[in-house]
A = this chain, B = another copy of it.
Amino acid sequence: MENIHFSIAVVERDTGLSKDVLRMWERRYGFPDPQRDANGERAYPSAQVERLRLIKRLMDQGHRPGKLMNTSDEELGAMAPRRPQVPQETNGSSPAELNSLLDLIKGHDAAGYQQAMQQRLARQGMQRFVQDTVAPLTRRVGEAWEEGSFEVFEEHLFTELTKRLLRQAIATLPGNQRSPRVLLTSVPDEPHVIGLLMVEALFTLEGADCIPLGTQMPLLEIARAAGAHQADIVALSFSIAFPHRQIPGLLQQLRMVLPATTGLWVGGGGASRLNKIDGVNLLGSLDEAISAITRWREEQRTV
């Protein structure tokens, strides 16, 4: 059980660190320090893979490899995110309630979690459920994950179950109204979908006609899709983990390929600390998203 070793290709897949990086670190810092198999090829013990994953996580939070390499495992484990978090308002749900939901996930009680969430949905109604339960819960999970108090598979379970709840809830909404038509998606390298689903739920509730395209659409394809579907608005979501330096450039490019009459709305944790961009509607919160729909309708009436 202990003497399991992984090839460099598997470690690349598992950690997200390229083969080049793994070899370069070994050369430069002396870690990782894999054994060699009969063919002289690297064979990484699982302990080293764990450590690499930890290092990768801390790097994603803004730490630099050179410092991390010769730090002990204990210190690494205790290391906090380097970039200061965004201060958070306490929404309508009490921390205790949210904690009990998180505990269900950490207890791996999938059925219990789903049931508890269904109950909350019934009690709060869709809009408050999204704003006061799903949104803060998602933020808490993100934080817990950065702190390392959530396992990867627990985060996956949370994401998968919550996605299902939202999609199911959206499906029960009436689809009679049909304006504005909103195309929902995210750019390549942005796989997070829960933010999009929350917005879709709220927009559908407001009577918009939502077209969900999933995540990771190439920019040119977003423009094509907007044309093909005759979308009034393209809505993008950026998670907090997305490299924010790249966002303004991306949006400008997308703005240029989109028809001028198509609105470009951007939200999510990664969008909240952006400067204004011409022709882009930055939505700092779910509340703003809802009022943006109202405002759009008013503008249409006057035109």
Contact = CB atoms under 8 A, between A and B. Distances in A.
A217 B10 contact: no
Contacts of A152: 217-218, 221
Contacts of A16: 188
Given A164-B167, A214-B159, A225-B153, A220 B46 contact: yes
B175 A111 contact: yes
Interface string A1-22: 0001011011001111000000
Interface size class of A (residues with CB under 8 A): 35 or more
A157 B211 contact: yes
Interface stretch (A59-67, A73-81, A246-254, A283-291): A246-254
Contact of A153 (B111, B156, B188, B217): B217
Contacts of A157: 211, 213, 225
Given A185-B156, A220-B46, A10 B250 contact: yes
- Copies of this protein in the complex: 2
A71 interface: no
A224 to B, nearest CB: 6
Query: What are the 10 A-B residue pairs with the smallest beta carbon separation, nearest first?
Result: A153-B225, A160-B214, A14-B218, A13-B188, A152-B221, A156-B213, A153-B221, A156-B214, A4-B256, A160-B212
A15 B15 CA distance: 22
A141 to B, nearest CB: 13
B211 A253 contact: no
A183 to B, nearest CB: 9
A222 B156 CA distance: 11
Contacts of A218: 13-15, 53, 152
B217 A156 contact: yes
A14 B219 contact: yes
Given A46-B220, A153-B217, A257-B46, A249 B14 contact: no
Interface string A150-178: 01110011011101100110010001000
A185 to B, nearest CB: 7
A229 interface: yes
Contact of A168 (B160, B167, B249): B167
A108 interface: yes
Interface in A188-230: 188-189, 191, 211-214, 217-222, 224-225, 228-229
Given A6-B219, A53-B218, A152-B217, 20 more contacts: A9-B249, A10-B219, A10-B249, A13-B218, A13-B250, A46-B257, A49-B220, A108-B228, A111-B175, A151-B225, A152-B218, A152-B221, A153-B217, A153-B224, A156-B213, A157-B211, A157-B213, A160-B213, A163-B214, A167-B168
